[in-house]
Amino acid sequence: MSLCSIYFSFLVLACAAFASSQLTGPSQTLSASPAAFTYNNDSFLLKGEPYTIIGGQMDPQRIPYQYWRDRLSKARAMGLNTIFSYIFWNNLEPNQGAWMSEDPQNEVAEYFKIAQEEGLYVVLRPGPYICGEHEWGGFPAWLSEIPGMEVRTNNTPFLEETKKYIANLANKSHLAELQVSRGGPILMVQVENEYGSFGENHNYTAALRDIIRESFDIPLYTNDGGVDWTLEGGHIPHVLAAVDGGSWALPARDLYITDPTELGPLLDGEYYTWAPDQWGSHNPHNTTVGNADSVSSIVSDIDYHLGNYSASISFYMVHGGTNFGFQNGAMWQNRTTVFTTSYDYGAPLDETGRTTDLYFKMREAILPYVPDGSVPDPPTNLPRATVPQFELCPSTSLFETATSRRNAASPLTMEALGQSYGFTLYEHTVVSTIEGPLAVGDRPRDRVLIYVNDRIQGVMDSQYQHPLTVSVSLQAGDKLQLLVENLGRVDYYSRGNPYRNYLQDPWKGVKGDISIDGSILSGWNMYPLQLDSVPVQGCSNTSAGNKSLSDLPRFFHGSFIGPSTSHNSSMTLDTFITVPNGIKGNVWVNKFHLGRYWLVGPQQSLYLPGTVVKPDETNDVVILELEPWQMNSTSMVVYGSPERFWGNNPDPDCLKCI
């Protein structure tokens, strides 16, 4: 940047500060006392002194709240001075108007207070869209049922709900009082998230800027990929422009951003430590383990950012955590690709919060750029627990728990039924003989198990490039049953790709008519199965070997005696739960929903946090196995291991599918 343009940038920022506090760039060098946090053309300024952000991403709602301090202290011991965090709107407001900030897992203000106690500042990334491989990019499912709603656009219904959300974060979740301008740790707020890859409506992003400005008085910034079209689409006047993606992206900011009110110090807002995992027989686990070249590249990029460029950086992720329950997202690339329950990400802190070889390599690269003696020593990793193998017996079928019924001539979507996650059962009683190929709405949304009179007929799955055709032959009085699983709403769409934009078409269940050989079936009973709670009764007296029963998705029950704690820490109860004879399903321990398992991999075990385990007591385990007809046993076995397992297997429902 030339001296003339630097001087011009300073004049614009100073004049804007004098004219309007809402539209200013943050530089306040003409004030009598320095702002708590601001920036000039070259540097961030913390209490008037240059400040290089050495940050890392970790999201409080992906980490058991009892472990927040452990994870944050380890981030500080790695050499970080700042934590970047997404906020998941769908968790804070699962039902419209019901703000759940008092749920300990959603007490994000407490998380930020702990960060401050551990010597960390915070960058807030509230969205409202956050991507993050999270369910619908953080949007609550009920948004889709508001008339006229269109997310991520200059849309009145969307902006009205966003305004309420941001105000609730500031006031009900008490984040406004945690701004650095009021003595708290929050330095900056990100506006939207990589919007330039999605759109280029600057009226929308300016409206978001103004909404956030109503609740927060600290600097704002945008974060976009380091290429021309994303930066040009995502920039916002009077908001600092940052890039993401790696060292190659840094020069692009000053090349493509020309508005001086958007310029300032360089920030790589997402330097990727590795990548998330997606379910699939051909999708290996993403890790730097055994990949010395990748580790070397990360280390050299740290030197490049902090040394050559004197740029700030945030590592995405420093700790990924877990998409517990049904919280994983998905992508659409002419088929659905679904992110795993594990959000390990190959990060420096693994899914259980233990330090890795990558952690120490990155720490070693960071230390030359921080004051001597300012970084605490990292702790020694605590051992994880072993749970000996135990057996679970079959209990009730999933269909037997379907008690809440809606009737309609045509099928309703999951959202129209007031449901956000889980499964929806659609039942139709046949009135006359009919046979032929089955069509389920406009497409499978997402995985459809097809039954006639409780007997499995086939599986249709949007994860397959070409979903299987299932034909049925029905007689009058037969019962056609479709169990539709929401595998996770799409969390990302780029305007640069040729695929349909399912970020703005999030509906699950069945959208459209159900037909056989082109004949539309009318008259449906629909049962929402969100599984906020699961059956607690024990084993069934009915023979699980009965074919008509074993076809149906079934709950299995069992228990284990929790290990004893050691080192005075519940982390020593952490373990990885494996279901070796399971096909596809979900696991709950002591009513806590761990998430999904699926033998196709790459994830072959589920993280069970020690915070869930009762030491030296009985711990209840419930498994929902969706495909018991594929099992070679009428019971299930489970064990817990201190080491986790990754691997891939063929999909028994579609051996030739990709």
What residues are annotated to the active site? 194, 270
Q: Is the preceding peptide bond at 58 cis, omega within 30 degrees of 0?
A: no
- CA distances 646 to 139, 280, 283, 653, Å, are 30, 12, 11, 21
Q: Which of 338, 337, 339, 341 is nearest to 322 (CA)?
A: 341
Residue type, 383: P
First to last CA, the chain: 49
The answer to whether the CB of 430 falls within 8 A of the CB of 587 is: no
Extract the runs of DSSP E, i.e. beta strands, from 350-506: 387-397, 406-408, 423-429, 434-440, 447-452, 455-461, 471-474, 479-485
Centre a 10 Å sphere on the Cβ of residue 633 and count the other Cβ atoms it contains: 11
What's the helix, strand, coil split of the chain in %, to 5? 25, 30, 45
The answer to whether the CB of 618 falls within 8 A of the CB of 603 is: no
Beta-sheet pairing, 186-190 with 220-225: parallel
| Residue the block writes with tokens 């730097």 | 288
Q: Which of 602, 599, 593 is nearest to 626 (CA)?
A: 599
Residues in the chain: 658
The answer to whether the CB of 497 falls within 8 A of the CB of 437 is: no
User: And the tokens for 158?
Assistant: 């969307």
Nearest 5°: CA angle at 506, between 491 and 445? 105
The answer to whether the CB of 430 falls within 8 A of the CB of 437 is: no
Q: Which residues pair with 133 in a beta bridge?
A: none
User: And the tokens for 67?
Assistant: 């472990």
Q: Which of 73, 72, 80 is nearest to 56 (CA)?
A: 80
User: And the tokens for 645?
Assistant: 């397992």
Question: What residues contact 297, with CB distance under 8 A and at least 6 apart?
Answer: none
**Please, what's the b/e burial string for 63-95 (b: 16 or more CB within 10 A of its CB; e: otherwise)?**
bbbebbebbbbbbbbbbbbbbbbbbbbbbbbbe
